[in-house]
């Protein structure tokens, strides 16, 4: 399953990170050459891609597609395109507001792909894509816990020794390895004819590498051969493309803060290891009252402790603290007159009753 991702690169940086190798050089001593894909901007009803540490379904993100979808020319300058699409496929038959079709389409189960009214058409038309990110967030569901208490993890592909995926100061778009997931896309049109491109990520049953965390995992494309087989709908058959979808053999992960639970949190603390993430500040004011926290009282106690530390240790042992004196002192002094007056009043009132 995949319900949240992280991609903090701008469009130009995305293109740099998505360079792919040309055909192998004929000469053994010749260096491998790489091609930079082109960015294809789409209107998408006015919505745009925004880099984020916490990307959720319905957000716009860049995906890789074959350039053959938009050109019949056999002499293409670039075989791959990167274009922004909305996460969560919109059913082609839906009418009205594209956000209100009522289906959960961020993931597509591989087992039911060919039986699905939503996904069978795009697959048969060769509308295969690759979703890119620095990593995806997953919640551990194999342990009994409430959804809000489940541990969250950032899952990513192994990097070079000096690269720490959560620390952008240790890598650049040219040396980072993005995680690539197989997906399907479709094109939806509103009543005015404006188009919205959207996609779903393909998932299947988790292999042992991830089954300890979750029972589902995305179809991750680890090699360039898998990438080519999945994207090249002109020359690679449906069955060959499906054969390219197999469980990943190498993944890395680390636990992250529960900040990522809320998709509105876009802080750079979202993808940091749990031990390094900044702890949330204690509630103040009305929120502190609602949560039972009393910062004022805690502050007074801290000040009292500081004063005690400064005081002479001998005096501290002889003189009781203010709180101790208050505890030993009776709440009110006995008053002999009061009971007599009360008794007198009772005697006077007794005959009247």
Unique residue bearing structure tokens 């004063």:
307
Of 289, 259, 7, 15, nearest to 152 by C-alpha is 259
- Which one of the listed residues 2, 6, 129, 133 is annotated catalytic? 2
- Which one of the listed residues 134, 138, 222, 269 is annotated catalytic? 138
Tell me whether residue 2 is one of the annotated catalytic residues. Answer: yes
SS3 339: helix
Pairing of strands 252-256, 135-139: unpaired
Tell me whether residue 79 is one of the annotated catalytic residues. Answer: no
Q: Residues near 155 by Cβ (< 8 Å), separated by ≥ 6? A: 135, 136, 137, 138, 179, 210, 251, 252, 253
Q: Residues near 61 by Cβ (< 8 Å), separated by ≥ 6? A: 5, 7, 49, 55, 84, 85, 87, 131, 132, 133
Rg (CA), the chain: 32
Whole-angstrom CA distances from 151 to 143, 207, 276, 281 are 9, 20, 15, 20
Give the catalytic positions in this structure: 2, 138
């Amino acid at each position: 399953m995949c319900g949240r991702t992280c991609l903090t690169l701008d469009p130009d940086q995305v293109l740099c990170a998505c360079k792919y190798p040309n055909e192998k050089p004929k000469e053994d001593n010749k260096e491998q050459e790489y091609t930079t894909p082109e960015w294809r901007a789409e209107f998408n009803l006015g919505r745009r891609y925004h880099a984020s540490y916490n990307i959720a379904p319905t957000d716009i993100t860049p995906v890789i597609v074959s350039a053959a979808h938009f050109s019949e020319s056999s002499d293409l300058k670039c075989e791959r395109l990167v274009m922004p699409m909305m996460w969560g496929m919109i059913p082609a038959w839906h009418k009205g507001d594209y956000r209100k079709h009522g289906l959960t389409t961020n993931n597509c189960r591989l087992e039911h792909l060919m039986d699905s009214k939503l996904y069978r058409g795009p697959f048969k038309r060769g509308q295969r894509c690759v979703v890119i990110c620095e990593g995806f967030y997953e919640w551990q569901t194999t342990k009994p816990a409430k959804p809000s208490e489940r541990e969250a993890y950032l899952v990513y592909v192994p990097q070079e020794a000096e690269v720490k995926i959560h620390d952008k100061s240790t890598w650049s778009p040219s040396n980072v390895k993005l995680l690539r997931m197989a997906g399907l896309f479709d094109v939806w049109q509103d009543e005015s004819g404006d188009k919205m491109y959207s996609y779903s990520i393909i998932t299947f049953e988790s292999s042992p590498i991830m089954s300890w965390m979750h029972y589902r995992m995305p179809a991750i494309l680890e090699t360039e051969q898998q990438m080519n087989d999945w994207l090249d709908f002109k020359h690679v058959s449906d069955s060959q493309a499906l054969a390219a979808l197999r469980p990943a053999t190498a993944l890395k992960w680390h636990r992250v803060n529960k900040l990522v639970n809320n998709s509105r949190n876009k802080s750079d603390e979202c993808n940091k290891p749990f031990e390094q993430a900044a702890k949330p500040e204690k509630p103040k004011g009305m929120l502190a009252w609602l949560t039972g926290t009393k910062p004022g009282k805690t502050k007074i106690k801290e000040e009292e402790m500081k004063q005690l530390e400064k005081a002479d240790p001998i005096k501290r042992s002889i003189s009781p603290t203010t709180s101790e004196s208050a505890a030993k002192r009776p709440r009110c002094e006995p008053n002999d007159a009061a009971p007599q007056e009360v008794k007198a009043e009772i005697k006077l009132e007794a005959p009247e009753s």
